[in-house]
Amino acid sequence: MSVSNVGCGLRGLIALTLVLFPLAALAAPGIPAFSSTPGAGGATNYTFSIEALLLLTALTFLPAALLMMTSFTRIVIVLSLLRQAMGTMQAPPNQVIVGLSLFLTFFIMAPVFDKIYETAWKPYSDNQISLVVAADRGVQPLKSFMLKQTRQEDLALFIRLAKVPPLAGPEDTPLKVLVPAFVISELKTAFQIGFIVFIPFLIIDMVVASVLMSMGMMMLSPMLVSLPFKIMLFVLADGWGLLISSLVQTFQI
């Protein structure tokens, strides 16, 4: 991923904070965060504006938005299932899995973040549109991405549970319905991919266990013996390249 893509992705993620949370619209530009008034006896009273407080509160939801409204969920679950299938315990460690998932998320979501930046954040920063208009424009690329990954049955389930009136089209789906449907679909897809990842390693475990039983080595753990073979198979087959490329291609941008 080029430096320009990373920069646009980060700028788009910043714009995402303004797009996703209506509370941020209350923080009108030009309102100071702090104000001071003279008090009795030469003292000074400081006041923190409620608009800035609401904006900072909205920013605390950014990690949840990154986890639940992007490709992060599918990637981190598949990588975790891969580690479990190989039986390598804590290798790679959780920090590596989360870090790799995060940067793969920026790589996959870069086109979406670019659209948010160009259509919402850049005009807003140039004072061409208001924050409300920027939020309306910026949420459309994100909704389009989530709709492409969401199964129709999952979307219909939450529309029925929320008792939403008939919609003119999928693009009119509210975020309160789209986000949980998107997360459920991502979980289903991640576990389907994890099942496929498990099969070759399961076959190796079964072969090793059968050989050990036929040799009468009942006290020797099959997992301990099969681990080097699974690592060798994964490395020789260029497992990381195949898994990452296949995983990225499962997303419809």
Structure tokens at 211: 């050989």
Does pLDDT of 5 surpass 50?
no
What is the end-to-end Cα distance of the chain in Å, rounded?
A: 16
Cα-to-chain-centroid distance, residue 166: 29
Cα-to-chain-centroid distance, residue 9: 13
Q: What integer pLDDT is reported at residue 23 of this predicted model?
A: 38
Tell me how many degrees the CA angle 179-122-99 measures, rounded to the nearest 5.
50
Classify residue 92 by its DSSP letter.
S
Q: What integer pLDDT is reported at residue 27 of this predicted model?
A: 42
51-64: pLDDT as tens digits: 566 666 767 777 77
- Judged by DSSP in three states, 35 sits in strand
Q: What integer pLDDT is reported at residue 214 of this predicted model?
A: 79
pLDDT band (50, 70, 90) for residue 76 = very high
Residue 178 in contact with residue 150, Cβ under 8 Å?
yes
Query: Which whole number is the average pLDDT over 125-147?
Result: 81
Q: What integer pLDDT is reported at residue 189 of this predicted model?
A: 92
209-235: pLDDT as tens digits: 888 777 777 777 777 778 888 888 888
Does pLDDT of 201 surpass 80?
yes
Structure tokens at 95: 């920090």
C-alpha span between 183 and 189 (Å, rounded): 10
Q: What integer pLDDT is reported at residue 63 of this predicted model?
A: 78
Q: What integer pLDDT is reported at residue 142 of this predicted model?
A: 86
- What is the chain's mean pLDDT, rounded? 77
Q: What integer pLDDT is reported at residue 21 of this predicted model?
A: 44
Q: What integer pLDDT is reported at residue 119 of this predicted model?
A: 84
Estimate the crossing angle of helix 94-116 against helix 72-86, to 10 degrees.
160
Classify residue 16 by its DSSP letter.
H
Q: What integer pLDDT is reported at residue 3 of this predicted model?
A: 43
pLDDT band (50, 70, 90) for residue 188 = very high
Could you tell me which residues come within 8 angstroms of residue 252 by beta carbon, excluding any fewer than 6 positions away?
148, 149
Does pLDDT of 153 surpass 70?
yes
Q: What integer pLDDT is reported at residue 184 of this predicted model?
A: 92
pLDDT band (50, 70, 90) for residue 31 = very low
C-alpha span between 93 and 97 (Å, rounded): 7
Phi, psi of 92, rounded to the nearest 5 degrees: -70, 150
Query: Which whole number is the average pLDDT over 142-155?
Result: 88
98-135: pLDDT as tens digits: 988 988 988 988 888 888 888 887 887 777 877 778 77
C-alpha span between 52 and 34 (Å, rounded): 9
